[in-house]
Amino acid sequence: MCQHPLCDHGSAAGSLSSGHRPVAPSCIGKFLSTIKLLCIVGVLAWLLHLCPFAITLVLPLLCALLVGLVINASMQRSSQLTPEQRHALHSDPDHQQFMSDAMRNKVHYATRLGQAIQLPTVSFDEHDIQQKTDPGQFLKLHELLQKNYPLVHEKLERTVINNYSLVYKWKATSSSSGSSSSSSPSPRRRPILLAAHLDVVPVPDGHLWAFDPFGGEMSSEGFICGRGAIDDKHALCGLLESCEALLEQGWCPTERDIYLAFGHDEEISGYQGAGEIAKYFKQQELSFEWMLDEGLFVMKDMLPGLKESVAMVCVAEKGFLVSELKVNVPASLAGHASAPSSVSAIGILSEALLRMESNPMPSYLLQARSPVRQMFRALAPHFSWPLRILLGNLALPPIGWILAKILERKNTTATIVRTTTALTVFQAGGKANVVPREARALLNHRIHPFDSVRGVLDYTRRIINDSRVQLKDLRSLPPSALSATRGPGSEGFEVLRQAIGRTMPEVLVAPALMVGNTDTHHYWGLVENIYRFSPSRMTPDSVSMFHGVNERIHVDNYVECIGFYRSVIRMAGEPQPPTQSSSSTNAVSSSATKHASSSSKED
């Protein structure tokens, strides 16, 4: 996967390889900065204690310290595209012409997406005894795609995987021409993989919707409505629309093959879809430079103090662990409730759970390569004051520590800076007058990329510190490796950054952490760098549509999605790569290979 993964996923917090250029002070530099700041604070406190009149000395020093922080924050150079670069990308004549034509034909695009939404390709869990997945809907979707995108099915090599999933290969012209020539072929880069999924989640609460969940209609406000509009048929159809448009122009990739992969069961872990596609790729001895799949969105008004919309490109994905805690007590401690013992299975387990809730795992905000640290670094120059001062000085441990504590206090932000633990199931007893011998609880851990499954289990044992409590790993998936955002291996991130700048020039771009799970884990071991991003525009009010009610996407935003995917394909497939250097053609790292043996996935 990523060529800069965690070096040791067996440790609680593995060290990172040093592929990136330094972006933060060294450990010694941080230590010295902390000592300096503490010395200043100590001197000020001493002076105030020694002589109240020393306030006349303290105030100037405090002002000087504040000025220093302000100057340091002001000197932070933005990693965003400059206005000139955004204008140049957005003013590209080919892109301008396509977007102008696409906006005129947006009803046509909306109709085709609506047709895909009308097919209820719902994935039901295999344990659901009331409702079963209808394979026929997926076959109908195959037929619809063939009808709506004829050039794609004429020019690209299509392979059906496990009856219902689809793979398309867009062969580069240089790989199919000149084979009989005596001259050696021009150097070519490894292929890339663009993914989406065919299935959608069920609609258990259809009566709450303002429209037919599978109507695929366009509202009077311009929204394309229905299940799959943002998860994930907009990406499925958007990718195919962009390919169809490029084929109509006679365009073809010249430097690398481009693969499209559409699994049919992502919503229930993807083992029959992406899992089988990955096996097919291995049989073909394929590996990929980088991959784009669904992820976070273009977020507006999600961060206080930031006016601009932000494209959150996830460079890592949290893992998960479902652990079981069980207590069994001797028969002498159980029995009739009329003569209870002072020790019980329920009491022992309750104490263990209380310890877990009272001792959350540590934050990794201060780690230089933490995805959230990278996000704040990318956005700091664009925050309003005084947040800009704090975020611009995160390299100073006291400030970083304060911000980490602030983020840890709220559950919605704690999840992006540390491994979280949720108590989800507690089982004990069956009758009101019987003291049970056994008590059982399930914990759901979402594992930060700097932690590991084994590290979480070790931490749990250490916190509980009770030999009477048995701990077991029921299901787990390690966190993903971190994908490159700068330096060697970052070509994919740079392609996405420029494609966003070309399509949505006012939007900032920042690395982020995916706290849920996708089916990309099936491709670990095949892909150098995996990026998770969807060009759907979201606000705090609209995020609830995801797996919720009234799912929809505005037609103008859908046209932006098509333009974005078209730009990604063009930049990835043309001779001139982005400004960042591409990754080497070495084999996928051993750490990513370790990932390939992981077990299961949760949504």
State pLDDT tens for residues 281-308.
999 999 999 999 999 999 999 888 899 9
Residue 37 has φ and ψ, to the nearest 5°, of -65, -40
The total number of structural domains that make up the chain: 2
Asked if the model's pLDDT at residue 406 lies above 50, the reply is yes
The identity of residue 389, as a single letter, is I
Q: Are residues 138 and 102 in the same domain?
A: yes
Asked if the model's pLDDT at residue 520 lies above 50, the reply is yes
Residue 396 lies in a domain: no
Residue with tokens 């002070």: 25
Q: What is the mean pLDDT of residues 394-420?
A: 87
Question: How confident is the model over 219-232, as pLDDT tens digits?
Answer: 999 999 999 999 99
Question: What's the whole-number average pLDDT of the chain?
Answer: 85
CATH, residue 267: 3.40.630.10
Instruction: Give the pLDDT score at 400.
Output: 81
Residue 356 lies in a domain: no
CATH, residue 327: 3.30.70.360
Residue 124 lies in a domain: yes
Q: Are residues 129 and 263 in the same domain?
A: yes
Higher pLDDT, 555 or 411: 555
CA-to-CA dists, residue 558 to 99, 363, 553, angstroms = 11, 37, 7
Q: Are residues 216 and 333 in the same domain?
A: no
Asked if the model's pLDDT at residue 193 lies above 80, the reply is yes
**DSSP string of 325-348, one letter each residue:** EEEE--GGG-EETTS--S--HHHH
Instruction: Give the pLDDT score at 387.
Output: 81
**Longest alpha-carbon distance in the chain:** 93
Question: How confident is the model over 570-600, as pLDDT tens digits?
Answer: 999 988 645 443 333 333 333 333 344 444 4
Structure tokens at 431: 């009758």
Instruction: Give the pLDDT score at 55.
Output: 53
The identity of residue 315, as a single letter, is V
Residue 374 lies in a domain: no
Residue 517 lies in a domain: yes
Higher pLDDT, 18 or 114: 114
Instruction: Give the pLDDT score at 178.
Output: 39
Structure tokens at 283: 């049989």
Which range is most confident: 36-40, 534-538, 573-577?
A: 534-538
- Split at pLDDT 50, 70, 90, the class of 81 is confident
Residue 358 lies in a domain: no
Higher pLDDT, 443 or 86: 443
Residue 381 lies in a domain: no
Active site residues: 199, 266
Instruction: Give the pLDDT score at 599.
Output: 41
Asked if the model's pLDDT at residue 11 lies above 50, the reply is no
Instruction: Give the pLDDT score at 600.
Output: 40
Residue with tokens 């290969």: 169
SS3 of residue 253 by DSSP: coil
Higher pLDDT, 311 or 56: 311
Which range is most confident: 7-21, 168-182, 321-335, 576-590?
A: 321-335
Residues whose CB is less than 8 angstroms from the CB of residue 62 and which lie 6 or more positions away in sequence, other chains included = 44
pTM, full prediction: 0.83
Q: What is the mean pLDDT of residues 172-180?
A: 56
Q: Is 601 exposed, middle or buried, given 0-12, 13-18 or 19+ CB atoms closer than 10 A?
A: buried
Residue 384 lies in a domain: no
Question: How confident is the model over 105-121, as pLDDT tens digits?
Answer: 999 999 999 999 999 99
Q: Are residues 533 and 558 in the same domain?
A: yes
Report the alpha-carbon distance of residue 88 to residue 502 in Å, rounded: 8
Q: Are residues 135 and 229 in the same domain?
A: yes
Q: Are residues 466 and 493 in the same domain?
A: no
Q: Are residues 199 and 227 in the same domain?
A: yes
Q: Are residues 324 and 236 in the same domain?
A: no
Asked if the model's pLDDT at residue 1 lies above 50, the reply is no
Determine which of 218-227, 341-350, 387-396, 587-596 has the lowest per-residue pLDDT on average: 587-596
Instruction: Give the pLDDT score at 303.
Output: 84
Handedness of CA 140, 141, 142, 146 (dihedral sign): positive
Residues whose CB is less than 8 angstroms from the CB of residue 178 and which lie 6 or more positions away in sequence, other chains included = 185
Report the alpha-carbon distance of residue 318 to residue 439 in Å, rounded: 29
Q: Are residues 114 and 235 in the same domain?
A: yes
Q: Are residues 253 and 330 in the same domain?
A: no
Residue 16: DSSP 8-state: B
Q: What is the mean pLDDT of residues 307-320?
A: 97
Q: Are residues 280 and 427 in the same domain?
A: no
Asked if the model's pLDDT at residue 50 lies above 80, the reply is no
Pair type for strands 223-225 and 552-554: antiparallel
- Split at pLDDT 50, 70, 90, the class of 21 is very low
Instruction: Give the pLDDT score at 328.
Output: 97
Instruction: Give the pLDDT score at 84.
Output: 82
CA-to-CA dists, residue 382 to 73, 89, 378, angstroms = 11, 21, 9
CA-to-CA dists, residue 212 to 72, 113, 204, 224, 543, angstroms = 54, 15, 13, 11, 19
Give the H or E element holding residue 51.
none
Q: Containing domain of residue 559, as a range?
A: 93-176+188-297+480-504+513-595
Report the alpha-carbon distance of residue 17 to residue 69 in Å, rounded: 31
Asked if the model's pLDDT at residue 358 lies above 50, the reply is yes
Instruction: Give the pLDDT score at 85.
Output: 84
C-alpha of 243 from chain center: 25
Report the alpha-carbon distance of residue 431 to residue 205 in Å, rounded: 34
Instruction: Give the pLDDT score at 29.
Output: 53
Q: Are residues 484 and 471 in the same domain?
A: no
Asked if the model's pLDDT at residue 532 lies above 80, the reply is yes
Report the alpha-carbon distance of residue 119 to residue 100 in Å, rounded: 30
Instruction: Give the pLDDT score at 8.
Output: 35
CA-to-CA dists, residue 388 to 20, 74, 75, 76, angstroms = 25, 8, 11, 10
Instruction: Give the pLDDT score at 438.
Output: 97
